[in-house]
Amino acid sequence: MAPRTILIADDDAAHRRMLGAALESAGFACRFAADGEEAVRSATTTPPELLLLDVRMPRLDGIEALRRIAEELPALPVVIVTAHGDVRTAVEAMKLGARDFIEKPVDIDELRNVVQDILERPAPDKVDGGGETDEPRTLVGPSAAMAKVRQTVRLAAKSNATVLVHGESGTGKEVVARAIHDLSDRRTGPFVALNCAAVPEGLLESELFGHEKGAFTGAGARHAGRFEAAGGGTLLLDEIGEMRPPLQARLLRALQERSFERLGGTSPVHVDIRVVAATNRDLRADIAQKRFREDLYYRLAVVEIAMPPLRDRREDILPTAQHLLARLRPEARPRLTAEAAAGLTLHDWPGNVRELANVLERALLFAGTGDLAPEHLPPALRELCGREETPAGPPDATGVRPGVSLEAVERDLIEKTLRSLGGNRSRTAETLGLSRRALLYKLKRYGIR
Ligand SMILES: Nc1ncnc2c1ncn2[C@@H]1O[C@H](COP(=O)(O)OP(=O)(O)OP(=O)(O)O)[C@@H](O)[C@H]1O
Ligand SMILES: [Mg+2]
């Protein structure tokens, strides 16, 4: 078999030669380009099997070159070489369709692993005939916020980028992780989840990386960890914020080197996995308090997905309820009475979609084969069902509805204002007519980040 060709675009001749030597010694044939324009010309005239693209180059930088090449050769796998810690460029490149990125200084083993993984795995399906195979159907909701989540999931699925999903409990973080897996070219590989909070601290390391026989007291036969189990597929590290810093350091190394050693082992194990991490904690606050490593955060958050709580997207409540009902009783298609629907829409859902699913499951038990009515809902919700009949009805220009507590309105207003001002607290305080101190107090009181 003829060796596979890799085009290396880098303006630094010595670096170019170093990369070329590394790949040639792994059995690849290399071609070279000294700037972005040359890379575009060379790739589009005689497409290589893979393009390794430096970002900072004269005439045409790597991102712009990628944009042009992706238009003409959407199936060509491109690996971007970025400056260390330049996450923003990496994210942009992934969005433009780059398959992966490597940070400088380039680690030769990492480079070979990345290139081999890509060339051994078939390209993700391009939109085929039907065209809708890439729609994450499990993520329901017509709101703009959920549409954005679905779009990011689609983009993330096309690349190998690590994804960090954060959001309150029950917002669907695990649903997102599975959707990314199912839409990616790894879908035929395993999906493995590990809840970092559910494993006793002392066992987490061996649960992740596995151990050799007799590595520690009680370690019987050799045991493969979740990293190995997820080979060729996706690993969900749930509740990543609960991981202690020493293990965070090991995880970071494993992600960077794409290999690790089993406990008590001496030879590195290479793995081809995509990692999705999920958390309901505020990792930035944890970083400030030195509970979470900043470098690991940036490694994980190449693509970030924030799951919006249900109360911030009330237009999604009823469609989600219908989706859940159809899942709970596929044969019966149970219906909600108008009063029950009104109650569901007014509730604040601190437990988000999971709470909604639980409420519906319980209501189905009480309702038997009839429609779901207020009397089948828990008392707190039942009380909200009548509120719609109060005179003012639908929200007015301020977006406020009768039947909601003042506190809930205040919290909601503060949160939305803060978000619309990009998190700027001084301007938020000014807009709301509060002193900065008063705003900080309220942020703390309502647990708003
Ligand atoms: N947008 C959604 N559309 C449809 N179903 C959803 C959605 N979000 C969540 N669900 C459902 O809600 C339940 C909770 O979702 P999931 O387990 O993914 O939440 P989570 O964010 O991981 O919560 P936790 O932080 O408690 O682990 C699941 O049954 C899931 O199927
Ligand atoms: Mg979860």
Per-residue pLDDT of 203-217, as tens digits, reads 899 999 998 887 777
**Under 8 Å between Cβ of 127 and 94:** no
- Does 85 have pLDDT greater than 90? no
What is the whole-number distance in angstroms between the Cα of residue 98 and the centre of ligand 1? 29
Residues of the chain with CATH 1.10.10: 406-446
| Average predicted confidence (pLDDT) for the chain | 87
- Using alpha carbons, list the distances in angstroms from residue 235 to 33, 115, 116, 208, 421: 36, 20, 20, 10, 35
Residues of the chain with CATH 3.40.50.2300: 5-120
Bond prior to 374 in cis (omega within 30° of 0): no
Residues of the chain with CATH 3.40.50.300: 144-215+223-307
Residues with CB under 5 A from ligand 2 (ion): 173-174
Element (H, E) at 234: strand 234-238
pTM higher than the cut 0.75: no
- Using alpha carbons, list the distances in angstroms from residue 41 to 11, 35, 38, 57: 15, 10, 5, 15
**Under 8 Å between Cβ of 270 and 113:** yes
pLDDT for the residue numbered 424 = 87
- Does 287 have pLDDT greater than 60? yes
pLDDT for the residue numbered 390 = 45
What is the whole-number distance in angstroms between the Cα of residue 193 and the centre of ligand 2? 10
Ligand 1 pocket: which of 138, 140, 174 to mutate (most atoms within 8 A of CB): 174
Average pLDDT of the residues in 204-232: 86
Dihedral sign, CA of 239, 241, 246, 250? positive
Dihedral sign, CA of 276, 282, 288, 289? negative
Query: What tens digit of pLDDT does each residue of 41-58 get?
Result: 999 888 899 999 999 888
- Render the burial of 276-292: b for 16+ CB within 10 Å, e for the rest: bbbbbeebeebbeeebb
Query: What tens digit of pLDDT does each residue of 137-150 get?
Result: 889 998 999 999 99
- Does 20 have pLDDT greater than 70? yes
Element (H, E) at 51: strand 50-54
The minimum-distance atom of ligand 1 relative to the CA of 165 is: 21
The minimum-distance atom of ligand 1 relative to the CA of 323 is: 4
The minimum-distance atom of ligand 1 relative to the CA of 168 is: 25
Average pLDDT of the residues in 109-135: 66
- Does 389 have pLDDT greater than 50? no
How far is 430 from 410, CA to CA, in rounded Å? 15
Q: Whose CA is nearest to atom 15 of ligand 1?
A: 172
- Using alpha carbons, list the distances in angstroms from residue 77 to 112, 133, 263: 14, 21, 34
pLDDT band at 391 (very low <50, low <70, confident <90, very high): very low
- Does 124 have pLDDT greater than 60? no
pLDDT for the residue numbered 170 = 95
- Written as six digits, the tokens of 247 are 């293990």
pLDDT band at 397 (very low <50, low <70, confident <90, very high): low
What is the whole-number distance in angstroms between the Cα of residue 169 and the centre of ligand 2? 7
Residues of the chain with CATH 1.10.8.60: 310-389
**Under 8 Å between Cβ of 10 and 54:** yes
- Does 321 have pLDDT greater than 90? yes
CATH placement of domain 310-389: 1.10.8.60
Is residue 172 within 6 Å of ligand 1 at its C-beta? yes
What is the whole-number distance in angstroms between the Cα of residue 239 and the centre of ligand 2? 8
Angle between helices 62-72 and 36-45 (to 10 degrees): 20
CATH 3.40.50.300 correct for 144-215+223-307: yes
pLDDT for the residue numbered 405 = 67
Architecture category of domain 406-446 in CATH = Orthogonal Bundle (1.10)
- Does 129 have pLDDT greater than 70? no
Architecture category of domain 5-120 in CATH = 3-Layer(aba) Sandwich (3.40)
- Does 78 have pLDDT greater than 70? yes
pLDDT for the residue numbered 401 = 62
